[in-house]
């Protein structure tokens, strides 16, 4: 599965380098390698940290503005820096490459994850790979998006405690609070 993602990155990087007049085609392999390390590292870090909502929202197809996504913008900045520092590509050319490669890869990844006719990538498998197997056997979509709105946010966290899957702040007596109430005779 990781090979499939790396191939998406290599293709996007190769196309971006070929389309950019200031970057020699001979650098396509090095750009693809940096892009692979950068994208996979940023996705992994995002899933472990504060970008989980953006990444999962994007991968599930619920957040359709991939280029405007905060995580995408951070990933583009990270790749731009690496291309400039490690490969000596000018800041403007590196910025152009990053702005081309990152959204293209994330868009293709999202499309493949959500394509019912393509079983090469799925949300669970991608997240499991990026987290080192820590999500194996867990149905992420239904657990994380408790209220079904396509976003993982405070409403989902509240529904874990209240048992209400409609993101209302009223306590319905279900969930963790309902269980605690029952334990203490409330």
Judged against a pLDDT cut of 80, whether residue 99 lies above it is answered with yes
Domain around 95: 2-130
**Residue 51's pLDDT is what?**
76
Are residue 39 and residue 95 in the same domain, yes or no? yes
Are residue 41 and residue 109 in the same domain, yes or no? yes
Are residue 65 and residue 157 in the same domain, yes or no? no
Whether residue 90 is contained in a domain is answered as yes
Tens digit of each residue's pLDDT (9 = 90 or more) over 8-31: 999 999 999 999 999 999 999 999
Of 134, 151, 133, 147, nearest to 175 by C-alpha is: 147
Gap between the Cα atoms of 78 and 186, Å rounded = 52
Whether residue 136 is contained in a domain is answered as no
Judged against a pLDDT cut of 80, whether residue 50 lies above it is answered with no
Gap between the Cα atoms of 177 and 175, Å rounded = 6
Whether residue 179 is contained in a domain is answered as yes
Number of domains in the chain: 2
Choose from 135-139, 164-168, 170-174 the range with maximum mean pLDDT: 135-139
Are residue 106 and residue 158 in the same domain, yes or no? no
Average pLDDT rounded to a whole number, residues 168-179: 43
Is pLDDT larger for residue 166 or for residue 128? 128
Tens digit of each residue's pLDDT (9 = 90 or more) over 108-119: 999 998 888 988
Token readout for 178 is 């309902």
Whether residue 61 is contained in a domain is answered as yes
Are residue 149 and residue 115 in the same domain, yes or no? no
DSSP the chain: -HHHHHHHHHHHHHHHHHH-TTS-GGGHHHHHHHHHHHHHHHHHHHHHTTTHHHHHHHHTTS---TTT-HHHHHHHHHHHHHHHHHH---HHHHHHHHHHHHHHHHHHHHHHHH-TT--S--HHHHHHHHTTTTTTT--HHHHH-TTSSS--SHHHHHHHHH--TT--SS--S-HHHHHHHHHTT-
Whole-model pTM: value is: 0.72
Are residue 92 and residue 159 in the same domain, yes or no? no
Whether residue 99 is contained in a domain is answered as yes
Tens digit of each residue's pLDDT (9 = 90 or more) over 29-46: 999 999 999 999 999 888
Are residue 65 and residue 106 in the same domain, yes or no? yes
Of 65, 77, 57, 55, nearest to 5 by C-alpha is: 55
Whether residue 135 is contained in a domain is answered as no
Whether residue 140 is contained in a domain is answered as no
Are residue 173 and residue 105 in the same domain, yes or no? no
């Amino acid at each position: 599965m990781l090979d499939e993602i790396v191939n998406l990155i290599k293709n996007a990087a190769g196309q971006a380098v070929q389309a950019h007049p200031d970057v020699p085609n001979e650098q396509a392999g090095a750009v693809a390698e940096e892009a692979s390390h950068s994208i996979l590292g940023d996705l992994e870090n995002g899933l472990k940290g504060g970008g989980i909502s953006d990444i999962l929202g994007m991968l599930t197809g619920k957040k359709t503005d991939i280029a405007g996504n905060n995580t995408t913008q951070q990933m583009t900045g990270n790749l731009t820096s690496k291309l400039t520092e490690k490969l000596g590509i000018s800041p403007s050319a590196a910025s152009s490459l990053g702005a081309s490669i990152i959204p293209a890869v994330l868009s293709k990844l999202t499309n493949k994850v959500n394509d019912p006719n393509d079983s090469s990538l799925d949300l669970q498998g991608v997240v499991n790979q990026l987290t080192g197997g820590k999500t194996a056997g867990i149905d992420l979509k239904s657990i994380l998006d408790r209220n079904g709105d396509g976003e993982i946010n405070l409403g989902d966290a509240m529904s874990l405690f209240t048992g209400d899957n409609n993101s209302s702040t009223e306590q319905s007596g279900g969930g963790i609070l309902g269980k605690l109430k029952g334990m203490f005779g409330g």
